[in-house]
Amino acid sequence: MSNILEVKFSAKSENESLARVIVASFAAKLDPTLDELVDIKTAVSEAVTNAIIHGYEDDEEKFVSIKCKIDGDTITIAVEDDGFGIDNLEEAMEPLYTSKPELERSGMGFTVMKSFMDDVNVSSIKGKGTRIELAKKINSPK
């Protein structure tokens, strides 16, 4: 049995916390542990922040989309923007790489996502946007 949630919101930094809560509420159906829930919220936070800061460069007129799917004991979360895209995806995935050093970004966004989720896939087309797909199997006893 699967379940799907789709949401779209303005690319405003204040909406990052909204995204975390929405996804956490949806994931709650799987009865995750507190640690699993924190992992999901942290990864979503990083993906949404990347879309806002890097995808749109804080253009609040743009939108970020999230699509979540629960299938069995796994939640898949796709965070998408229609922004600038990533110049060099391989370089962007390297720990400590940031395209915004002037903003004191740590360059650990993708590393954080990978460490908290079971699977992270990123696709990006220059000038068309970026899609980050996160997946986590929930191992909580039911």
Please list the active-site residues. 46, 50, 105
Closest CA to 108 of 39, 46, 41: 46
**What are the structure tokens assigned to 16, written together?**
């990052």
69 exposure class (CB count in 10 Å sphere: 0-12, 13-18, 19+) = middle
| DSSP 8-state code for residue 52 | I
What's the gap between Cα 52 and its chain centre?
11
